[in-house]
Each structure stands twice: as structure tokens, then as C-alpha cells.
Amino acid sequence: MRARPGSARLPDPQVPVTALRGAGPALTARLERLGIRTVQDLLFHLPLRYQDRTRVRPIGALRPRTEVLVCGVVEHVETVQRRRRTLLVTLGDGTGRLVLRFFHFHTGFAQRFRRGLRLQAFGEVREGPVGPEMVHPELVFGAGSGTPDHARLTPVYPTTEGLSQRSLQRLTSEALAGLRDGRWALRDWLPEDLLPDTLHLKLAQALEILHAPRPEDDVAALVAGTHPARRRLAFEELLAHQLALVRLRRLARSHPAPVLEAGSRDLVTRFLARLPFSPTAAQRRVTGEILQDLARPVPMLRLVQGDVGSGKTVVAAVACLRAVESGFQAAVMAPTELLAEQHFAAFEQWMAPLGLHVVRVSGRQAAAQRRRVLEALATAEADVAVGTHALFQDQVRFARLGLVVIDEQHRFGVHQRLSLHRKGATGGSVPHQLVMTATPIPRTLAMTAYGDLDYSVIDELPPGRSPVQTVVLPDTRRAEVLDRVSRACAAGRQAYWVCTLVEESEALQCQAAEETARRLRESLPQLSVGLVHGRMSPADKDRTMEAFKAGGLQLLVATTVIEVGVDVPNASLMVIENAERLGLAQLHQLRGRVGRGSERSACVLMYHPPLSELARRRLQAMRETTDGFEIARIDLELRGPGEVLGVRQTGLLNLRVADLLRDRDLLPQVARAARLLAGRHPGPAEALVERWVGAGLRFAQV
């Protein structure tokens, strides 16, 4: 439906693309594949690059690999029969000659080129056998004076099969014309004073520059995404996402939470007194922040970030104990069964002596046992539950859930967090939430990705850790590595041997790990070698891990199941086979398993040559630093924030225009603008969320 110019304008163009001339069902279906349903979607679908048809270039000055418009006179025409029939047309303009090369052509087409004919050609210049050439250029026959018929640069869009650049260009240009003549409007919801100084552009003006730049505009900046027009849009998009997170937070806080305070059982105090070490200053600070939150009648939503080995588990335990001494239950959710097992073991060891009942909820439990556990939770006979997401299945009911702890947040999305929140709701109140992650994220990024959470950092490792020395070796030097393992074990130390396998199937991975263990037993007959992998029964796994912990095994061969959680201070050497197959975060997590004792530790990253460029840079980063924050920074650079934060599939932070890495300098101003806008201009704030996040957010609330 189209409003006539001058009549009441439609609000923000949620106008369907079918309002554009020529957008029939076939075209609409293809646009849909690019996520374009409305005129607004089309306007936010930005060009990848531009072509310059605004200027005619002298042939004598052409450079290879540039796309240019030339104008000249046909000097020579010939058809040659090589591997395939080829038409060669020589064009001259007084400054030089250019060959136009055609492979697919009708005789009629060839006959149109006559000596003396004037024409314009647009295409990419390449080096031919006798000088510059263009293959299959676009042509305008008889273009007399050589005046180009384009005043603006031509946009080149990301597209999909069956959708030509021409169609996209034509549709976009009509969408822009509609903005100009008032068929639809894109309101500037953002008050000017909230925009950074360099970005004072109207939205329509920015779109005009992005889709149809003038030749004098800074094209390099447009393509690089650093042009103010692009950043004006990026700012608004980031702001909209930030506002959406603020809204989520408000939603999450619209219910009261139980006030959790010190109780007569003195659990927290007694626990800390019994610990064999004293908490680091960072642990104490973060624990303090958490206990303060828990004492308030609004749900805590706090993210605790701390590098591998920084001691997050103790902090989580304190929070759970506070819930229990206040008469509530706590639930601890881990991303894998193995990690849940380990948390359970630690919690039971810490809490059973204090008289607490800790239960494990697992997808793998026998029915009878599971029934007992569920019963204990439903009657408040159990105080703390540890498990994977199995914890939050429908059958699991908590009598008085006061706190939910989620470990390794980055593996869970925003949706899960929300569903969890509702899960715990009892009698009009919702549990507090503590989220822990070992993926060190720069603060500004964390605020953007988890803007609905408060944020604490454990920025200190327990004392007595020595940095892990890391070496990178090709697997052709395996003998040296074996020797190193042998010497470490002879000196009374222990070692891990991690198999990383490409096989998708867990069964094949485990088979390969068994094979590796067999070969290592053969090469190192003097050592006692153990094996853990994902296919073993939990009991067998436990037995092996226990034996390794007790020192009965010297070398532990493992698949990446040991990634998180195991803790054996005497293990001072880790060999990672085919390290090139792992991501930086995973390598960092694995390496965190050594260097836990006072002994000097080492990590050998063994790779199978040749290395890809990306893998080479990852391994180099691992060798150069053990600082989790630095590693995260490099990881961000190599992979991009969507991957690193694990938010790509969550609907939130599904950015169209902005790039978290490129535009990260805008984030502080975005945060400020979000606060001001949400406070002073709730209407425009809503409109911006609707414009940029719209469907994604509604989905997140389902």
C-alpha cells in the first residue's frame, strides 16, 4: 500500500518491500533470503563496495585490477578461434589502446562493432598479452561525447542467487526516492545532543551517502566502515541493542527476590574458616559484592569474570552457603556432565562437613536415584543441587530456590537465562542469579553483550602459581616431546597428554584416544599411563582421575574432556596434540590445568604441519602470553565478537550495520546515551528498539 506524496506519511517504514515498483513474488522471496522484508530492511542493507561510473578515464593511464569507465573509438575488430571462439575489439582514445575480450557472443553482437564506432565500456582492467584488457565489459554503444550518465557512485550489495545487482540497485534507489518525496519516513528518534560530535547527520542523509555516494566522498572510509555515515547508523544500532538489554534487565527485575542474609548457622563464616587457604583480595572483593546483592529484595543479576584458575568455585560456594543459611536452596548449573561432576565433588567435600545436603541432578541417573533426588529438592530436604541444564527440566521442582549459579555462561544464551529465571519463580519471587565465565571479555564488550548484568572481575590468581612456559613444535619432533614427558615423570612430576581429534563422532574420538594411549605405553614403558575419554562410565572416569590425583598414574591421556575443572597441582606438563585444531579460548582453558602447583610448568603445543595462517597466529599468541585478557583480545581480533561471546545465535547482538570490534570506541557513549534516552525519552527508546532489534527481542521474551 502506498501513500500519495503529501498525504499522511506512514510511520517508520515497516512498509513491505512489495510497495516498491517491480517487487513481485519472485523478487520478494529472494529478498527474504537476505532478511529483507520491509523498505527499512532494504535501506539498512548496505553496499559492500562501490563502482565509479562517474568519470571517464584515459586509457593510457589505466591500472590493472581497477574498475573503470572508458570511452573510445573502435579501431580494430577480429574473431579468433583458440580453445574457444573469441571476439577481440580494440578501443582507442588518443591516449592508448584497450582490448575488449568476449567469449560468449552471437554473430549479430560481433557485427555491431565497426571501425570508427564510439562507445563506452565499464569493467575491470587486467593485463592482457598485448596491453590492458577488459573481459565482457558493460557497454554503451554510440555514447557520443563521453559524458557519463552517472552522477553518483554505483553501490555493489551483498546478494543471493537470482537477485541481480541491478534489481537491488533499482529497489534501493526507489526506497531512497520514497524517503525524499515523503512516501515513507525514517524518523530521527535520536536527539542530536546524544550523538557523538562527529556523527551529527540525519539518518536519511547518512543513508543517501551510504547507498549513493558522490565521487568526492571518502570511498575508502565507506568501504572500511569508518565513514561518519556508517558510524551514525552503527551508533544507533548499538544503542538500540543496549536499550533492549536495559529492558530485559527491567523485566528480570520486575519481581522481588528473597533477602538472603547471614543466618544463625554461620555457614559462610565456618566455611571460610575451614578453607586450607585464605581467599585472594579479588575473591574477597567479589564475594563482598555478591553478598551485598543477595541481601537486597531485588534479584541479583551479576556476571563474575575470572581467568582459568582464579578461584571462581569458592566464590560460588560462598553465595550458595549464604542462600542456605537464609533458609533457601541454591542450584549450580554447569555446561558439561564432567564439570558438573567436579563441582558436585568439590561442593560435597566443602559442604557435607557443615551439615548440608548436596545433590547431583544428571541426565544419566538411574530412575530410582533420580526420583529420590527430585523428591529431596521438592521437599527442601536437599540444600544445594548441582547439574547441567537437566536441572531445569520440568520435572525438577525446588521448594525454596533462592539462588541460581551458572558456570561458563558463554555457552548459554540469553534465552536460557530468561527461561531459567522463570523456572525458579516461586510465590511471586524469583531467585538471584550469578553467572560465572572464564572467557575474559573486555569490559566494554561485556557491558554490551551482557548489558543486563552487573559485572565483577576476579583479576588476581591465587599466590604461588608460576607462569606456564609454552613451546610450539611440529609433530615431526615427537621424539623430543616423549623425552620431555619421560624426564618430567622421572623427576616425580605428572603430565597430561591431550588428544584433539577431528572426527565428529565421539566414538571415533575415543577410539583414537585409546590408540594414542596404547602407543604411549609402548614408547614409554617405564610410566604408568591412564586414559579418560567421554565414552567411559562416570565411575571409570572417576577412578582414573582419582588415581591420577593420588599420583598412582604418571601420564594421563585424555580427550578434551579435561578442558574444564580438573585440578592436580603436581601435574606440571601438558602436551596438546594437533593443537592447531583448537580455538584460542579452548587452548587457554586447557593450559590452565597446569601451573597450579609451585613447580615450574610447561605446555607443549604440538601441531601437524602445514599450519594455516590463522592457526599459526593462534599458536603464536599462546606462546607469547598467558594473560587471559590478552588472549581474549587476540581471539576477538581473529574470530570477531559474535563467535567469542557465543551470542551469534541468540537474536540479540545480531548486528546488521555495526561491528563490535570496529565500532568499540563508540560503546562508552552508547552506554551513556542509553541511560539518558531510557530515562528521558522512553517513547523514542521503544521506537529504536523496535526499529533495530524488533523481532529478535520479541523472540527472546517468548
Interface positions with ligand ADP (CB under 6 A) = 277, 279-280, 283, 306, 308-314, 438, 462, 567
DSSP characters for 295-362? TSSS--EEEEEE-TTS-HHHHHHHHHHHHHHTT-EEEEE-SSHHHHHHHHHHHHHHHGGGT--EEEE-
For 180: left if phi > 0, alpha if psi spans -120 to 50, otherwise beta; the answer is alpha
CA 370, CA 374: separation in Å to the nearest integer?
A: 6
**Angle, helices 228-252/694-701, rounded to nearest 10 degrees:** 20
Q: Which is nearer to ligand ADP, 334 or 520 (CB)?
A: 334
Q: Which is nearer to ligand ADP, 228 or 592 (CB)?
A: 592
Cα atoms in the 13 Å half-sphere on the side-chain side of 199? 25
* Widest CA span in the chain: 103
- Whose cell is 580438573? That residue is 566
Q: Which is nearer to ligand ADP, 312 or 360 (CB)?
A: 312
Q: Of how many residues is the chain composed?
A: 702
Q: Which is nearer to ligand ADP, 188 or 460 (CB)?
A: 460
**Which parts of 398-537 fold into alpha helices (H)?**
414-424, 443-449, 478-490, 506-523
Task: Kindly state the smallest distance separating residue 410's Cβ from ligand ADP, in Å.
Answer: 14
Task: Kindly state the smallest distance separating residue 26's Cβ from ligand ADP, in Å.
Answer: 54
Evaluate the omega torsion of the peptide bond into residue 610 and state whether it is cis, within 30 degrees of 0: yes
| Enclosing H/E stretch for 131 | strand 131-135
Give Cα separations from 388 to 215, 307, 363 (angstroms): 58, 21, 8
Q: Which is nearer to ligand ADP, 222 or 405 (CB)?
A: 405
Q: Which is nearer to ligand ADP, 310 or 362 (CB)?
A: 310
Q: Which is nearer to ligand ADP, 13 or 309 (CB)?
A: 309
- Whose cell is 601451573? That residue is 595
Are 288 and 341 in contact by the 8 Å Cβ rule? The answer is no
* Partners of 472 in the β-ladder: 605
Task: Kindly state the smallest distance separating residue 545's Cβ from ligand ADP, in Å.
Answer: 14
Task: Kindly state the smallest distance separating residue 310's Cβ from ligand ADP, in Å.
Answer: 4
First to last CA, the chain: 30
Q: Which is nearer to ligand ADP, 109 or 277 (CB)?
A: 277
Q: Which is nearer to ligand ADP, 312 or 400 (CB)?
A: 312
Task: Kindly state the smallest distance separating residue 460's Cβ from ligand ADP, in Å.
Answer: 9
Task: Kindly state the smallest distance separating residue 611's Cβ from ligand ADP, in Å.
Answer: 29
Task: Kindly state the smallest distance separating residue 412's Cβ from ligand ADP, in Å.
Answer: 16
- Which grid cell sits at 406? 551458572
Those residues whose C-beta lies under 8 Å from the C-beta of residue 581, and which sit 6 or more positions away, are: 500, 501, 502
- Whose cell is 588428544? That residue is 499
Q: Which residue is nearest to ligand ADP (CB)?
A: 311
Task: Kindly state the smallest distance separating residue 590's Cβ from ligand ADP, in Å.
Answer: 12
Task: Kindly state the smallest distance separating residue 407's Cβ from ligand ADP, in Å.
Answer: 7
